[in-house]
Structure 1
Amino acid sequence: MIGDKERRGKVNDDDGHKANSESSNERNNGRFESRNRDNNTEFQDDIIFQGISSDFCVCMLDIVNSTAVTSSLAQEDKIRKFYSLFVNSVAPVISHFGGRVLKTGGDSMIYYFPKTAEIERIEGFKNVLECGISLLDLRSTVNSLYKREGIQPIGYRISADYGRLELADSRFSRDQDFFGPTMNLCAKINNKAPANSMVIGGDLRQVVKKQHSLEKEFQFEEISEFSIGLKQRYPIYLVIPMDLDRRMNYPLLKEKILHQHDVRIQSENAKERIRHPQELPPRLRQEGDGTTRGNIMLVDDQPDMLFTYRSFLEGQGFKVDTFTDPTVALRQFAKEDASKYDLVVMDIRMPQLNGLQLYQRLRAINSAVRILFVTALDAADELISLLPDVAANQVIMKPVSRDRFLNYVDLAVREKG
């Protein structure tokens, strides 16, 4: 390879068969197991190289102008929120594509893909490219969370390269760490990347060239270069997906990011309510006095969301029936008295029957039934245009806090009454 082949030649010559046998015994699913340390020495080095190395794809994701953003945040909790939102939003995406995070630096993240240890496994290299493109497309979702927190939107750059990584144990970290020229190259090419784009180095480009199916799915445009060694030219390529129709903001990953954020917010709110129970909205607190306020049907294919919403509602005196299967919910609704349920709260994206289909069938049984949609899809306007009977206050966008959720429910029940 352009940048790495000569660098690692001496390592291979020195280690020979010994390194190969060690890597097969000491590597498990792309992760290395450290050798036993000599604990009898009086002094220990801060970093101990294990003499174990392998080739991987390594990536760097770096926020653009993060210093300017954080310097504009006067409150410490906003600064903490800035960093935590970034890490908590992108890490699930990296994991979804089989990546593993090595380091987080607040405004940057370094991760690698274990499956790329076997160069002939095209799936691993495809995941590298798909992961980068999805992270770029999901930037609007990440920024929607920043907007909710009153933080200005961010941009970021993604770089990837392929080559030798050396395993080491560090006294400063519980986890093993990687070092080597590939890490350095990945950082250098990241600085050359335009904002909100993905670039790859020359070594990774050489690998991708040999995997012809990837050449049909992605275009690679050389945009820059720099010198390494004695005037050796190292090119940098911009990654462009060929099939733009595939870039549909990855709805499942979008929902996953929003859902996990929603769960974190609900957990924080629950802790806050324990400390400050008097902060509940006065109207809801007065009515949540143990009397039955009505019957509500909850329909969502995610059991954890049902549990969360049910706990909200039962705490306010509602009787709640929950269903993960919309077809079962429809049968139950049809069997009951038409006026039993004061409100039906449902997700939109569900198997077998989606929320729109379920809405139409419920309305066919009882045209007066009140319905709330809770969704991570940014489709409120489209939903209202498709269903003229649905008003804007019947669509709750995730993530939603407890108090906001209960206020929507309270309004819907009052309107029915």
Structure 2
Amino acid sequence: MTTPPTTSAVAPRSARRQPPPAVLVLEDGRIFRGRAFGATGKTFGEAVFSTGMTGYQETLTDPSYHRQVVVMTAPHVGNTGVNDEDPESARIWVAGYVVRDPARVPSNWRSRRTLDEELTAQGVVGISGVDTRALTRHLRERGAMRVGIFSDHAMPDEGTMLAEVRQSAEMAGADLAAEVATKEPYVVPALGADGAPLPAGTARFKVAAVDLGIKGMTPHRMAERGIEVHVLPATASAEDVFAVEPDGVFFSNGPGDPATADGPVAVMQAVLERGIPLFGICFGNQILGRALGFGTFKLKYGHRGINQPVQDRTTGKVEVTAHNHGFAVDAPLDKVSDTPYGRAEVTHVCLNDQVVEGLRLLDRPAFSVQYHPEAAAGPHDAAYLFDRFTSLMNTAQMEDQRA
């Protein structure tokens, strides 16, 4: 039986060392002041907000947040600390972190260290004590924009900080997938009914997964369904994908502007030509949109959090879903479109703003969704999509056997 770690008593406020001052500077000149949270120094990125009330550890380690400064709308962050089981990748990817009221002492039996300690250890510059409600409203009205966080006892003047922010890179036009993806292929084995890994070659299906910023829970969800997942780098060619001899091909989530992803689009088109069952999530949905001939565009402030309502138009069911995207597919909602690979339709739509949240081909086994059905840290309404992918592979396998 695991003994929960003990926590020491909280020192009186007068006895605790105050973190150094910190300043958050938006590219339109709006300034917020607070205290350093995590590492001190300076950082730059795109300011975005996440509406999830939990799951901050999964958010921090999601590669899709690369080069983004995340503002947490929940006022109290860090109360469950940081554990070694919930990360979605091997490191924190956010460029910076903004919270209102950080927990001083974590209270959870799985906690191994504080959030502040983890941010500091990984060199992530953050700021606390900020009116995150006012900051979020500002971003909703003005849109996501570049931002800088500066923290130390000696900082440049406001004009210098603003100039540095305006000189930093923008998200539009950014090609980032290869920066966060695996450099070498690896295999996630299928799991048996007892949860133990199955021997290589004995899985029900084999999937080639193109890593554009994949979250660790995604191949795990497939492994739970008896799928052996071969994870390939973002730079993988069509030949690399076909060398796996896959029963299905998966394109993952990831950061950056899908308009720059010409390589993955070409690979997906080669997969569509062969008619191999295909599934895409988030960035993978945008790649499918481009492969079919649709455009993509940048949303004003994006969808981020674990409470976004999406309707599956094929069933009429409304799901509460997890999102992290700042770009979307420009496809017609109310008609079937002709593409080089047959007819395509929009299958899912966000009920907040009517943004395309899913696509499927009617004449080939291919579909995608813009949100995250792997559901880390929840909700689990959309887990059926992995079963839908499995069903496509099963149908294709039976057709091959009959042929």
If asked which structure has higher relative contact order (CA below 8 Å, sep 6+), I would say 2
Specify the structure having the higher radius of gyration (Cα). Answer: 1
Q: Quickly name the TM-score band, shorter chain normalised.
A: 0.3 to 0.5
More strand as a share of residues = 2
More helix as a share of residues = 1
Q: TM-score, normalising length from structure 1?
A: 0.36
